[in-house]
Amino acid sequence: MAGCVFCEIIAGDTPADVVLDDPDLMAFLDRRPVFKGHVLLVPRAHVVTLPDLPSDLRDGFLAAAQRLATAMVDGLGAQGSFVAVNNVVSQSVPHLHCHVVPRTKGDGLRGFFWPRTKYAAGEAASYADRLRRTLGSG
């Protein structure tokens, strides 16, 4: 896709520190990492969001994210990892990418990056019901 920095990296037109290069996927270091070793996993095909990811790429995408999360511990000595995907909101590049960030207890990253909220009495059940109906399981 013209103008997509991730497509340019995949095509080899923009340099990147590639850590995984598979026929359907690529992973490379984030240029502005949360912590050193922060990786972005992308499908080679220009896919904008996770809901757009074709089903034939879904298992490979998740398997690659698992491998990268394991590599954070085995290769970088992290105690764990943070794995996240933004869809549209806070998605700085409109090409599906999964962040895999090495984590160590006391590293300063506090859970999610946004303030938490609470449900009013009975409100949680209403949200759960709406989601179940949308998913066709309620």
How far is the C-alpha of 51 from the C-alpha of 87, rounded, in Å? Answer: 8
What pLDDT sits at residue 48?
96
DSSP letter at 88? S
Per-residue pLDDT averaged across 66-94, rounded? 92
Q: Which residues are catalytic?
A: 97
Average pLDDT over all residues of the chain: 90
Considering only residues 130 and 96, tell me which one the structure prediction assigns the higher pLDDT: 96
**Reported pTM:** 0.87
* Tens-digit pLDDT profile for residues 49-67: 999 999 999 999 999 999 9
Task: Give the containing element (helix H, strand E) for 20.
Answer: strand 18-21
* Beta bridge pairs of residue 21: 26
Asked if residue 138 has pLDDT above 60, the reply is: no
Residue 132 CB contacts under 8 Å (≥ 6 apart), including other chains: 138
Residue pair 95/4 in contact (Cβ under 8 Å)? The answer is: yes
Look at residues 90, 89, 93, 97 and name the one whose alpha carbon lies nearest to residue 50.
Answer: 97
Domain range list for the chain: 5-135
Domain 5-135 in CATH 2.40.160.60? The answer is no
